[in-house]
Structure 1
Amino acid sequence: MIYTDTHLHTSFSSDSDTPMELMIKKGLELGMKTLCFTEHYDPCHPDTPDKLDFLLDFENYKKTLFSLKEKYASQIEILYGLELGVQPHLGRLLANFYEKYGKDFDFIINSCHIVNNMDPYYGTYFKELGATRGLMTYFETVLSNLKAFPHYQSVGHLDYVCRYLPESSQTFFYDHFSDILDEILIEIIERNRALEVNTAGLKYGLDWPNPDISILRRYRELGGELITIGSDAHKPEHMAWEFDKVPDILHRAGFRHYAVFKEKKPVVYDI
């Protein structure tokens, strides 16, 4: 079993209404040893049908987390993280963000949610681009994002876009996108960054977490070693989602260890 969940959202993220303390109490109930909260910050996010802005009150987030970190210090480890929604044109803005806020975080996830001013979550993305072009454009944007903001520790849900493929095109084949995916994985490895295993893919009905096991295997073949594990939970009932399946998936992909970042440095645990 995995007893650390390093991708969690609370009411500090605009797509969650769960108080942070409630997530901590659920973590204790689940027997978790470490939780890392990674609230959304997506600057320059387009308007959404549900009026979410994905901005973040950094001061109150930090104040609340460190207060609860102290309150529960004898029961569970609480880490200070961020899921950063990166876009290729935001390099200077994100550099300024990092200078002001970034150095205090234990862990920053570099995630791609927006491509061509669209989030695949809302359905119009594949209607406009189609399945093959939509996937390729997404992966090309991920690569640009990693170069635009290199101060991350892990790449979040690398094939996030696959969660929202049209029903007629729900099969993802690594070989169809191997060139761009290899570029991404080599970029991650050369920077000594991690690749996230995000079990929300299982919650969304995929056969594998995000990313697909074919990507995990290729990452290992290319020399990748650092893996982080998160549920991407926005509600207590989704915490540690199907973590019981993760050890077998990672073993099948060639991994024997996973990492938890503390003060941006990986601490490695056996699977």
Structure 2
Amino acid sequence: MYDFHMHSNFSADCDAKMEDMIQEAIKKGLKEIAFTEHLDVDYPDKEWDFSFNPEVYQEKLELLRTKYQDKIQIRKGIEVGVQPHVLEETSDFINRLKPEFIICSMHSANKQDLHSGIFFEDRTVDEAYRIYFEEYYACIKKFKNYHILGHLDLVSRYASAEPEHVPTEIIEEILKLVISEGKGIELNTSGYKYGMNAPLPSDFILRMYRELGGEIITLGSDAHRPEEIAAHFKEAKEILTNCGFSYICSVNGEEIHYHSIK
């Protein structure tokens, strides 16, 4: 079992202690985990400061890695929220932190956050989807400092309805670019806890990724509390198998390891 998306109180939206998360992961029998703390430079909702001190994070992580080294592998990760105007500053932070695993996510678009609903005001669901994916694509054409794309269709979690026309051509271009650069995507099970009854991204995107030749895929719970670690992994592995995947991946810097789902 490998959970490569979780947070601790180094992330602004999480109160869980890092050690509590580690102990729960050990209790659940996980072999390897990655803490992927939030960095969202210039996040539109100014009530949230999604940044952290990389030196303090490094010190805490190394202390706990040493303490639990015989029980679990712990990777130093980060989840960056990209926007077109913050790519250089985001890369500077990554270069300072030197993480072993980097998730590239998009939590806002058009300089508007997704979570409050502001992004969806005065535009149709179809328009919102297109703006979101076009901006995501524009970012990763320039931003290369990552391993996998996080919850690729996060926009669907906040939309009030399904779009009439999914921007398939843009999603396909995103996936082609990811594959050509030797990067991957994740299957994020947090959709279940938010009432979607499905992980992110959708089966449609997973199948497209696989049919295009995509192989690198990590599994992450996006846990913000200990009880959420590895949640719904059984369902996620069944979905991956049905979409044509035989492996899930773990990442340690430039090293990508494939682990049989079976």
TM-score w.r.t. the length of structure 2 is 0.96
> Which of the numbers 26, 49, 52 marks the counterpart of 1:53?
49
Q: Distance in 2 between matches of 1:15 and 1:112?
A: 16
Give me the identity figure in percent: 38
Please tell me whether residue 23 in structure 1 is matched to residue 21 in structure 2. yes
Post-superposition offset of 1:179: 0.5
Post-superposition offset of 1:33: 1.1
Q: CA RMSD in A?
A: 1.4
Q: Distance in 2 between matches of 1:47 and 1:125?
A: 11
Q: Structure 1 residues 149, 244: CA separation in 2 closer, same or farther (over 3 Å shift)?
A: same
Partner of 1:180: 170
Q: Distance in 1 between matches of 2:79 and 2:118?
A: 23
- Letter of the structure 1 residue corresponding to residue 125 of structure 2: A
Please tell me whether residue 249 in structure 1 is matched to residue 239 in structure 2. yes
Post-superposition offset of 1:205: 1.9
Q: Distance in 1 between matches of 2:62 and 2:220?
A: 21
Please tell me whether residue 145 in structure 1 is matched to residue 135 in structure 2. no
> Which of the numbers 159, 169, 192 marks the counterpart of 2:182?
192
TM-score w.r.t. the length of structure 1 is 0.93
> What SS does the corresponding residue of 2:80 show, helix, strand or coil?
strand
Post-superposition offset of 1:188: 0.5
Q: Distance in 1 between matches of 2:175 and 2:55?
A: 34
> Which of the numbers 75, 79, 89 marks the counterpart of 2:75?
79
Please tell me whether residue 121 in structure 1 is matched to residue 88 in structure 2. no
Q: Distance in 1 between matches of 2:245 and 2:236?
A: 11
1:10-46 deviations in whole A, cap 9, x for unaligned?
A: 0000000111000011111111111100000111112
Contact 2:101 2:251 in 1 (8 A): yes
Write out aligned runs for 1:89-108 (5 A).
89-101=85-97, 104-108=98-102
- Letter of the structure 2 residue corresponding to residue 14 of structure 1: A
> What SS does the corresponding residue of 1:259 show, helix, strand or coil?
strand
1:91-121 deviations in whole A, cap 9, x for unaligned?
A: 32233333333xx311000000111121111
Please tell me whether residue 62 in structure 1 is matched to residue 58 in structure 2. yes
Post-superposition offset of 1:161: 0.8
Q: Distance in 1 between matches of 2:191 and 2:210?
A: 20
Partner of 1:8: 6
Matched residue pairs, number? Answer: 261
Contact 1:85 1:111 in 2 (8 A): yes
Unaligned runs of 5+ in 2: none
Q: Distance in 1 between matches of 2:158 and 2:60?
A: 34
1:158-186 deviations in whole A, cap 9, x for unaligned?
A: 001100111xx1x357x631111101100
Please tell me whether residue 154 in structure 1 is matched to residue 144 in structure 2. no
Partner of 2:37: 39
Post-superposition offset of 1:254: 0.6
Q: Distance in 1 between matches of 2:61 and 2:15?
A: 16
Q: Distance in 1 between matches of 2:168 and 2:78?
A: 29
Q: Distance in 2 between matches of 1:202 and 1:244?
A: 12
Contact 1:86 1:113 in 2 (8 A): yes
Partner of 1:111: 105
Post-superposition offset of 1:90: 1.9
Q: Distance in 2 between matches of 1:92 and 1:76?
A: 34
Dislocated runs of 4+, deviation >4 Å: none
The structure with the greater share of residues assigned to helix is: 1
Q: Distance in 1 between matches of 2:254 and 2:163?
A: 32
